[in-house]
Homo-oligomer: A and B are copies of this chain.
Amino acid sequence: MYLRELQDMAAEGVHVASSQELAQRTGFSSEQIRKDLAYFGAFGTRGVGYDTSLLEAEIRRILGLQRGVKVALVGAGNLGTALTRYSQQEHKDVRISVVFDADPAKVGQEIEGLRILPAAEMGRVIREMAIKVAVLAVPGEVAQAVLDELMDAGIEAVLNFSPVKLRARPGVTVQNIDLTMELQSLVYYTSEAKGTEEEAILPDAAAKGGQDGRL
């Protein structure tokens, strides 16, 4: 979130930002921001604030976004296509660089200039391209099998859109995004649910605009 904010500020021509300003823009407290940043190093100047372009560079370095990171997409459905479009246009830090699909009808077609490759070539290509991050946008039934293949191919982090609990080996991170669950949770914040639950005052994580590790 800081990274996006800093990019916006750069576009606006702002060169220095105090934790107070960042607080206003992000909705977090200024102390929180200082703690977050100080955890990784002393990036600010006392009495002045943070140099936005320097801080942006530091966050890029911390996240590992220095040079363009290549991502593999498995599953070229609507969701996969949407993700590919997103990743190609906006920034070029992280980019979907290969797309795989099991459906022979899709293989050979193009998404944003990327040719869809057959599932059979997945392991080899990922290894050859030394890709470490993958997006899993396949049906739940095959998700675990695909993940196993991806891990064999050296994938270290996966963004999983299938509504299935995946078993990952130690050292492999799986981040889940469950669209059905998100939709269901939303209803809770609606008058339909509130009417039923008298005392349901939950911490409003939702209001803050955070991702909480979700997409």
A contact residues vs B (CB 8 Å cutoff): 1, 3-4, 25-27, 40, 61-65, 69, 71, 77-79, 81-83, 85-87, 90-91, 93-94, 132-133, 135, 156-159, 163, 165-166, 168, 173-194, 196-197, 200, 204-207, 209-215
- Which listed residue (B71, B176, B212) contacts A183, Cβ 8 A? B71
A64–B1 touching, CB < 8 Å: no
A213 surroundings in chain B (CB, below 8 A)? 185, 205-206, 210-212, 214
A65–B186 touching, CB < 8 Å: no
A184 surroundings in chain B (CB, below 8 A)? 3, 63, 65, 93-94
In the assembly, how many copies of this chain are there?
Answer: 2
Q: Is the interface of A mostly helix, strand, loop or mixed?
A: mixed
15 more contacts with CB within 8 A, not counting A4-B181, A79-B82, are A25-B165, A63-B193, A64-B188, A64-B196, A77-B82, A78-B85, A82-B179, A132-B191, A133-B190, A156-B190, A182-B214, A205-B212, A206-B213, A210-B213, A211-B214
A86 surroundings in chain B (CB, below 8 A)? 179-180
Q: List 11 A-B contacts (CB under 8 A).
A: A40-B200, A64-B190, A64-B193, A69-B187, A159-B183, A166-B209, A168-B207, A173-B207, A179-B215, A182-B215, A213-B214
